[in-house]
Structure 1
Amino acid sequence: MKIAMVQMNSTGDQQENLDRVAEHTASAVRKGARLVVFPEAAQIAFGNDLARATAEDDGQWSESIAQIAAENNTVIAVGAFRAGENGTVVNTLIVRGVDEGREISVDYDKIHLYDAFGHRESDTVTAGESVRTFRLGGLTFGLAICYDVRFPALFTAQARAGADAIIVATSWGAGPGKAEQWKLLGPARALDSTAYVLACDQADPAVTGIPVKDGSPTGIGHSYVASPNGTLIAEAGRGEEIIFADIDHSRVAEIRGTLPVLQNSRLKGALFVEGV
């Protein structure tokens, strides 16, 4: 199956972002993509009033994504937000589309909130609690968002639930060592889960010229697809672009046959440590 990863910068204008999703989806589908992946916060960039934006939108943006997917006979995975608890929002990855007449509609809410590097996402975001997957064209896809990539257990849980590939939508924060960590973490999670990792970041505003508000995490580029043995099979630069890759269930089965880390693991349940 051919998948497309759209590395773009979103802005504070939800309609403008939606129009760009529609444009990029049509372009990717013309080149044969069956699944089109967009970054975290594609609906509206960090640094804007997310709570107000979700209240004003009231789910219309998500409905429009479903319409775009249907018009292009494809499936779209895209970062968005919806209202959370006590004035917060939920950072979510929505999947909408059709697969041989079957409607696909799945939401994954970011479990691990980015309270790191001086940032506190938990002040404004309600955490998710559930692992989510979906089926498309005989393949099972898992879902993750940004900071989730630092938590191997999420990826092995999805692999044990049948995931052949795991989407990681992100708006990765810049800073010393952050690009190196980004490039390391996805391949490591691919090795942990022996699954493809589809890591789609926002483009780097330093290259595209998109204004950055309040030092918010707005992407560094370098989106990539890691194979189940950790090697990169597609990689973007820092600017806006679309990259493509073919993923294959038989390749997952082959690598899991030779590197059965999921089967060999003795830590499949809770791990208790006895101290002395």
Structure 2
Amino acid sequence: MRIGLCQIEVGDDPKENLAAVRAALAKCPGAELAVFPEATMVRFGNRLADFAEPLDGPFVTGLRELAAERGIALVAGVFEPAADGRVYNTLVVISETGELTGSYRKIHLFDAYAFAESATVAAGDEPVIVHVAGTTIGLMTCYDVRFPELARALIDRGIEVLVIAAAWAEGNFKEEHWTTLVRARAIENTVWTVAVGKAPDRSDPPRGARTGVGRSLLIDPMGTVVTDLGPFPCVRTLNADLTLTGKVRAVIPALDHRRL
């Protein structure tokens, strides 16, 4: 499977961010799946409710058009309106023909490091797997990576690739936590893991702190770092040999050894 890791900058204008998606897809030759960050629609630090749209709104419609135009399936982060005035932090999955094939509302909200995501974001409540680009993927968003039980629930639903999208906040040890947790989820589940973070903000957002550390990762089922995109905007397309999963699990059958 050929996967594009699209570590883009995200700004305050959804139209400009959609143009950044278009430019990134043009740099994914032969990709079957392109993964974009959490909050691709608009960066944190804005009044998210002012930008939130239903999944048939103009931003997701634009993503669908771009996916069909390039013939590449994609995952990207958007915001949906919630009934109580907050928003859902949602990942959408769009097929290479432009079909909206699935969506995941972030379950674990980042109420940590003196930040309260739950003040403006409502939590989802269901793990989501999606069949796209000839494989089955499971979805996690940013803070979700700290909860191994979610990754395991996705594995038990039969995923072949774990996709994690993030706009990881800066802070003491935060970057180390990100890279360590992503590798841990790959190792303990012996699964290909695609983790794409937003490139760091270059300017202060309208409200709140800067987010994004980059460091997008492709990790194989043995825990090998196939690529680390570092801290700058970058798009890289790489091959993931999905047959490696079975070979690793034959050597390390930890999933079969579970007793709890």
What interval of TM-score do these two structures reach, taking the shorter chain for normalisation?
Answer: over 0.9
CA contact (8 A) 1:4 1:37 kept: yes
* Structure exhibiting the larger radius of gyration computed from Cα positions: 1
Q: 1:104–1:54: structure 2 CA closer, same or farther, 3 Å change rule?
A: closer
Name 1:27's counterpart in structure 2.
27
Q: 1:55–1:71: structure 2 CA closer, same or farther, 3 Å change rule?
A: closer
Higher alpha-carbon deviation: 55-64 or 248-257: 55-64
Name 1:253's counterpart in structure 2.
246
Matches within 5 A, 1:124-143: 124-143=120-139
Q: 1:126–1:138: structure 2 CA closer, same or farther, 3 Å change rule?
A: same
Q: 1:112–1:144: structure 2 CA closer, same or farther, 3 Å change rule?
A: same
Taking the aligned partners of 1:23 and 1:238, their CA distance within structure 2 comes to 19
Q: Which amino acid aligns with 2:86?
A: T
1:110 and 2:111 aligned:
no
Matches within 5 A, 1:2-81: 2-28=2-28, 31-54=29-52, 59-81=57-79
Candidates 165, 169, 176, aligned match of 2:161: 165
Unaligned runs of 5+ in 1: 268-276
CA offsets 1:114-139 (integer angstroms, 9 cap, x no match): 11111111111111111111223442
Taking the aligned partners of 1:95 and 1:58, their CA distance within structure 2 comes to 13
Candidates 219, 225, 242, aligned match of 1:226: 219
When the two chains are superposed, the root-mean-square deviation of aligned CA atoms in Å is 1.8
Q: 1:102–1:212: structure 2 CA closer, same or farther, 3 Å change rule?
A: closer
Taking the aligned partners of 1:94 and 1:138, their CA distance within structure 2 comes to 17
Q: 1:241–1:258: structure 2 CA closer, same or farther, 3 Å change rule?
A: same
Taking the aligned partners of 1:177 and 1:44, their CA distance within structure 2 comes to 26
**Identical aligned residues as a percent:** 35
Q: Which amino acid aligns with 2:26?
A: A
CA positional deviation for 1:103: 4.0
CA positional deviation for 1:102: 9.2
Name 2:88's counterpart in structure 1.
90
Taking the aligned partners of 2:19 and 2:40, their CA distance within structure 1 comes to 11
Taking the aligned partners of 2:55 and 2:149, their CA distance within structure 1 comes to 34
CA offsets 1:16-49 (integer angstroms, 9 cap, x no match): 0011111211221xx2111111000110000011
CA contact (8 A) 1:171 1:217 kept: no
SS in 1 for 2:26: helix
Taking the aligned partners of 2:132 and 2:125, their CA distance within structure 1 comes to 23
Taking the aligned partners of 2:53 and 2:128, their CA distance within structure 1 comes to 25
CA offsets 1:58-83 (integer angstroms, 9 cap, x no match): 72111111111011111010011110
SS in 2 for 1:159: helix
Candidates 192, 212, 219, aligned match of 2:188: 192
CA contact (8 A) 1:109 1:129 kept: yes
Q: 1:63–1:104: structure 2 CA closer, same or farther, 3 Å change rule?
A: closer
SS in 2 for 1:27: coil
Unaligned runs of 5+ in 2: none
How many equivalent residue pairs? 260
Taking the aligned partners of 2:88 and 2:113, their CA distance within structure 1 comes to 21
Taking the aligned partners of 2:131 and 2:52, their CA distance within structure 1 comes to 28
CA contact (8 A) 2:35 2:75 kept: yes
CA offsets 1:169-217 (integer angstroms, 9 cap, x no match): 0000001111111110000000121111111001123xxx233444435
